[in-house]
Structure 1
Amino acid sequence: MKKDDLKKLLDEKLLKANTDQNLFDQPDPLQVAKKQNDPLIALVCALFAYGNAKLILKFLNSLDFGLLNESDEEIRSNLISQNKLYRFQNPKDVSEIFITIKRLKELDVEQILVNGFNQNGQMIDAINSLIAQIYKLNLYKSDGFEFFFGRTFEAEPKSPYKRYNMWLRWMVRHSDIDLGLFSKLPRSELILPLDTHTHKVSLALGLCERKSYDFKAAWQITANLKEFDPNDPIKYDFALYRIGQSKELASLI
């Protein structure tokens, strides 16, 4: 597909995709994040966003975010007694996640991100800095806890960091469906929250040549989307996701 035709297609798709009506047509963790309108609750929503969308939304709607204002003991007692678990996270993991997020509330999360970003002008460094700070807040360790928060990288990222990039899209973009709760980070440097849907769609549409699902693929797609809108390339994310989710890709190529 020629670039002009592809841009026209994506522009048409995002007009429909980037609306509250479309957002609430299908289960999506952003629905809960919008209702709560809080950066750290949105982070919880984004980091639990793996697996079946219906189950994600069901679990998020079952959480009492008021616990983030309670003591560590109350958080543990409540979530463990309710047997609150989700896929890779058992009740102990979920309670320690809440305790960690509660402690993160005491810090300036946006400034942590800005400091990381300013190292090299890269959003991935902002994510890396935040993850490093998170692990300083709680000595608890488990596979479920570390899967939830992810791991830092040293030389270069391999993971696409989909859930963090999705959260940053919600926080930094200040139009249509996103929340725009952060003002100090540039929309132009957001990275596509690459998942299996958007990767498949991007390969088919010629936005990506890299078949590996990794950070380099997310970076390549983002660079190509910048040719369509250098100031807000990730506005196309939800449109790409919906194309893959709706299985309409075959009719477009």
Structure 2
Amino acid sequence: MKFEELRSFLDEKADQFNAPDFIENDPIQIPHRFTIKQDIEIAGFLAATISWGNRKSIIKSAEKMLDMMGNAPYDFVLNYTEKDLEDIQEKSVHRTFNGQDFAYFIRQFNRIYQEHESLESLFEVRDQEVNFLHAIERFRSSFLEPEKNRTHKHISSPYKNSSAKRIIMFLRWMVRKDKRGVDFGIWENIDQKHLSIPLDVHTGNISRKLGLVLRTQNDWKTVEELDLAIRKFDSDDPAKYDFALFGLGVTKELL
């Protein structure tokens, strides 16, 4: 497809899938159960963190975490007892993300929210930065303790060339502003032009079929290659094309 044909095609697909009925079967339904900003952030970050594998399984595991927090994430993070965390550490959560990992996250959330009103301040993009490469690393430095811990593997590092798919997806949820009702857009101080596409097997394969990327690995270098392509279509809201690529992966329209 020529440039204008491809842009028109992707715009059409983004418009088709960026709709409220998308929420029902996607992990984004988890933070949509809340209205308080901090509840949305915590529920969203946890749901995004375990977003690998079957979507029904992800949602079920996220619901399990909400149940452990009494379906009040922010209140629980601020007011848990050591007994609460001891109980959580004994439970399974989702695949390799276990109760110990969950308890670690809760402790870190508690510390962060004692110092910051919102997670947004930990992800701010600085002057001259074009994406979230450095912002994610600054967040990792703030959120993770310096000592090595098994839980560190659950927050990917683009400095190590990870595509950081789950964090990028969480950032889309928090930052993107439109009137479709899917993404929240509750972070006022970060421009959505810096967002990237959450890159996984499906979005990577579709991107290659469409000639948007040439690299065969799904890593951070490919995220940046895809950035260059999609920002030519819409430099103000590039992440809307996540809906197009995801939708094409689900419908298998290009197979």
Q: So what's the TM-score if we normalise by structure 2?
A: 0.86
CA distance in 1, matches of 2:131, 2:22: 31
CA distance in 2, matches of 1:56, 1:211: 27
Amino acid at match of 1:148: H
Can you list the C-alpha shifts for 1:41-98, whole angstroms capped at 9, x where unaligned?
21111111112211100011122343323335033133135x2321112222222222
User: Equivalent residue for 2:155?
Assistant: 149
User: Equivalent residue for 2:12?
Assistant: 12
Aligned 8 A contact 1:17 1:23 in 2 = no
User: Equivalent residue for 1:217?
Assistant: 222
Following TM superposition, the consecutive aligned residue runs of length 4 or more in structure 1 with deviations greater than 4 angstroms are none
Aligned 8 A contact 1:192 1:219 in 2 = no
CA distance in 2, matches of 1:232, 1:23: 20
Higher-RCO chain (CA-CA 8 Å, sequence separation at least 6): 2
Q: Pick from 105, 109, 121: which aligns with 1:111?
A: 121
Q: Which segments of 5 or more consecutive residues in structure 1 lack a partner in the other structure?
A: none
Amino acid at match of 1:202: S
Judge which range, 69-78 or 176-185, deviates more.
69-78
CA distance in 2, matches of 1:229, 1:73: 48
CA distance in 2, matches of 1:63, 1:75: 12
Number of residue pairs matched? 240
Q: Describe how 1:92-103 pairs up with structure 2 within 5 A.
A: 92-103=100-111
CA distance in 1, matches of 2:112, 2:94: 21
CA distance in 1, matches of 2:11, 2:157: 35
Q: CA RMSD in A?
A: 2.0
Q: So what's the TM-score if we normalise by structure 1?
A: 0.87
User: Equivalent residue for 2:167?
Assistant: 164
CA distance in 1, matches of 2:252, 2:138: 37
Taking only the aligned residue pairs, the percentage that are identical comes to 27
CA distance in 2, matches of 1:172, 1:236: 15
Q: Describe how 1:4-43 pairs up with structure 2 within 5 A.
A: 4-24=4-24, 26=25, 28-37=26-35, 38-43=40-45
CA distance in 2, matches of 1:234, 1:152: 18
Following superposition, the deviation at residue 122 of structure 1 comes to 3.4
Q: Describe how 1:190-201 pairs up with structure 2 within 5 A.
A: 190-201=195-206
Can you list the C-alpha shifts for 1:117-144, whole angstroms capped at 9, x where unaligned?
34734321111100110113x85712xx
When residues 12 and 121 of structure 1 are mapped into structure 2, their CA distance, relative to the original with a 3 A threshold, is closer
CA distance in 2, matches of 1:119, 1:228: 21
Secondary structure at 1:160 match in 2:
coil
Q: Which segments of 5 or more consecutive residues in structure 2 lack a partner in the other structure?
A: none
CA distance in 1, matches of 2:219, 2:28: 23
Secondary structure at 2:115 match in 1:
coil
Following superposition, the deviation at residue 152 of structure 1 comes to 6.7
When residues 121 and 2 of structure 1 are mapped into structure 2, their CA distance, relative to the original with a 3 A threshold, is closer
Secondary structure at 1:104 match in 2:
helix
User: Equivalent residue for 2:176?
Assistant: 173
Amino acid at match of 1:149: I
Aligned 8 A contact 1:158 1:216 in 2 = yes
Q: Pick from 44, 63, 66: which aligns with 2:65?
A: 63
CA distance in 2, matches of 1:139, 1:73: 21
CA distance in 2, matches of 1:165, 1:42: 12
1:89 aligns with 2:92: no
Following superposition, the deviation at residue 172 of structure 1 comes to 0.8
CA distance in 2, matches of 1:229, 1:120: 18
Amino acid at match of 1:125: H
